[in-house]
A and B are shown apart, each in its own frame.
Chain A
């Protein structure tokens, strides 16, 4: 099962290495990882996408908790939440027909064309990971040159929070 784990982490040197090291040492999967400071600069917020059976996920959350610099964590996928990922994708767009096709596709996915040259389009798409996958799939016909994905960020819906 896919899980999205949000972690509040002391923003100290080496604390991120400790989180990543834990996953490597214990053989847990990391599908994506994003990290940046919060409104409080002494704390970072980390969003980790992983998969495993219930027992593995339980161990992951417990082992993360054991890290001295982990302040709090939450398995977002356990309740209602919003998740978003940002993708920048550069595609070849030379002929008029190609350019129209890419534009149409971008519109359907509510993507924005953020850079244009005579030979390329760069499109920004935001959404769930599934949506980004679908967009890549839809563009398979045109030549994709480069893909950058931010990894998932997520937040719980409603009153539920992950704050101090």
Chain B
């Protein structure tokens, strides 16, 4: 068939929105209807390719889409109405932005001729979202819809990924006004061409510096996860036999069970990871951004280290810490190129220096080693995570909320695969955990999906238990119930002489009954010996949501914890011990 014979389809703006999503390969759309998007919802109703998930609050739609993106690497898609629908999505957009997660958010808007008149449910969503998106656009002519949707996906998923908002005035979607539809196969922008391969000269320099190292460390972040480069990173690390530390966002980029893994680094990083960093002479930073929660005081950061920094975003390089060998590019091809050069080179790492270095690291491992008081009558949150890690063999998708429970999950769950640890690292959004778990479970129905949460965080999006029922999302909720906004309490213990200003929550609901009221299974655990049977029971319920309300020690603190203003290796190791 020649293109001349092809009859161009004529579609309404609303139908084009849905059709473009289908042509983009989108299976699920997360959203909530309202006046400005009713034409689009009607178009959605009249087809079956794109399925819609009706949440109970728009924030949850954004987190579901976001978590799908974190697990799959592909952009999640959200549809919300104008005004309050759009503003409810703001926290989720900011969450995705801070962690560089690809997402396309379609927001309804009032009719074009009403824009600027303070019309009913009008908010300037382009203005509101500008600082928290990779890009945003609005539809000015219905016939541009296919192009704009393609552009939104292209921008969201390429380079350093991020959320893109497309604002759609209602009159762009009129059902009876039809326009020729054609979905562009690809898009080229003169103003946006992200680099892919790194500079060969810089890569060569980096390999030379790496081979000269006597006390090397590989510091890998979320860029390795989103850049689908865990395999290359692992191969490189194993070839060199260098220690690896992952950031909070990078957990799973290198298997936790591997001897070369020294744990997470940073504020609640392991003693050995922070010590290894501080004493390193060469740091290979891969898809990580020297965030303040990693570096602690930048002036005292790793004084002896030559820093090699691979990142897709040039603005992340030398932003807080100066990089000696910067490499701008996608981590995957850059790591592959480094590996290829190592294969060819006759030079080997300095095995003797490396042996001494490993001996030192192994000594550091004995200092704290994730120790916590385990033989107590009250259940310890760390023990719960260890048990969950065992029962799921480090293979589950684990989402979390924000607080102590999040740090315990990061420290004690042994992530052996990338894209399995799903948490809001940059924004620290309480309320993320449950919707995130839902987004993963919907797309990976056969996988174990665990949401580690706290009694504070879970209540921020508890209404989604209803959505879980509607779509049969059998996630396992591990509620580490300590009766406090524990992380706040910990700071108050350490810095405010235990004055617990608003960190205690009275009148908590009976979570077991609450889960049951929503049609799920609820199990309460109050004693250490009840834990294992409860977990076994929970994971045996393959298709049911099980809410485990686990009462843990309210006095527990997260350690290690960096001393404010100190170097990366200045840490509190327990309530009584510091480095």
Question: In the complex, which of the residues A13, A68, A164 has the most CB atoms of chain B within 10 Å of its own CB atom?
Answer: A68
Task: Specify the main secondary structure of chain A where it touches its partner.
Answer: helix
Which of A21, A58, A71, A164 is within 8 Å of B318, CB to CB? A58
Report Cα–Cα, A69/B155, bound state, in Å: 12
Asked whether B134 lies within 8 Å of A68 as measured between CB atoms, the reply is yes
Query: Can you list 28 A-B contacts with CB-CB less than 8 angstroms, sorted by A residue number?
Result: A10-B191, A13-B138, A13-B140, A14-B138, A17-B127, A17-B130, A18-B130, A21-B130, A21-B131, A58-B318, A59-B315, A59-B319, A62-B314, A62-B315, A63-B315, A65-B314, A65-B315, A66-B315, A68-B134, A68-B135, A68-B155, A68-B191, A68-B192, A69-B191, A70-B191, A71-B190, A71-B191, A164-B190
Q: Is B501 an interface residue (CB 8 A)?
A: no
The residues of A that contact B144 with a CB separation of less than 8 Å are none
Q: Assuming A68-B189, A68-B192, what are 20 further A-B pairs, CB within 8 angstroms?
A: A13-B138, A13-B140, A14-B126, A14-B130, A14-B138, A17-B130, A21-B130, A21-B131, A25-B131, A55-B318, A59-B315, A59-B319, A65-B314, A65-B315, A68-B134, A68-B135, A68-B155, A70-B191, A71-B190, A164-B190
Give the A interface residue count (CB, 8 A).
Answer: 19
Cα(A14)–Cα(B189), bound, Å: 17
Q: Contact mask B119-138 → A, CB, 8 Å, 1/0?
A: 00000001100110011101
Distance from A10 Cβ to chain B, minimum over Cβ atoms (Å): 5
Q: Which residues of A contact B191 (CB under 8 A)?
A: 10, 68-71
Complex Cα–Cα for A65 and B193 (A)? 11
State how many angstroms separate the Cβ of A31 from the closest Cβ of chain B: 22
Which B148-193 residues have C-beta < 8 A from chain A?
155, 189-192
Q: Which residues of A contact B23 (CB under 8 A)?
A: none
Nearest CB of A to B223, in Å? 15
CB distance from A149 to the nearest CB of B (A): 28
- On chain B, the residues within 8 Å of A164 by CB distance are 190
Interface residues of B in 390-404 (CB under 8 A from A): none
B313 within 8 A of A: yes
- Chain A nearest CB, measured from B313 CB (Å): 7
Q: Which residues of A contact B140 (CB under 8 A)?
A: 13
Question: How far does the Cβ of B163 sit from chain A's closest Cβ, in whole Å?
Answer: 13
B130 touches A66 (CB 8 A): no
Min Cβ gap B356→A in Å is 36
By a CB distance below 8 angstroms, the chain A residues around B131 are 21, 25
Would you list which residues of chain A between 3 and 27 have a CB under 8 Å from chain B? 10, 13-14, 17-18, 21, 25
Which A residues are in CB contact (< 8 Å) with B136?
14
Closest to A72 in B: B191
- Which residues does chain B contribute within 8 Å of A18, judged by CB atoms? 130
* A13 to B167 Cα, complex, angstroms: 13
B residues 295-343 near A (Cβ < 8 Å) are: 313-315, 318-319
CB distance from B94 to the nearest CB of A (A): 13
B319 surroundings in chain A (CB, below 8 A) = 59
Closest CB of chain A to B134's CB: distance in Å?
Answer: 7
* Chain A 54-78 interface mask (CB, 8 Å, partner B; 1/0): 0100110011011011110000000
Chain A residues positioned under 8 Å from B130 (CB to CB): 14, 17-18, 21
Task: Point out the residues of chain A lying under 8 angstroms from B192, CB to CB.
Answer: 68
Distance of A130 Cα from B6 Cα, bound (Å): 65
A13 CA to B139 CA, complexed, in Å = 11
Give the residues from 82 to 141 in chain B that come closer than 8 angstroms, CB to CB, to chain A.
126-127, 130-131, 134-136, 138, 140
* A39-63 Cβ-contact flags toward B at 8 Å (1 or 0): 0000000000000000100110011
**Which chain B residues lie closer than 8 Å to A63 at the CB level?**
315
List CB contacts (< 8 Å) of B182-221 with chain A: 189-192
With a CB–CB cut-off of 8 A, which chain A residues contact B190?
71, 164
CB of A20, distance to nearest CB on chain B (Å): 10
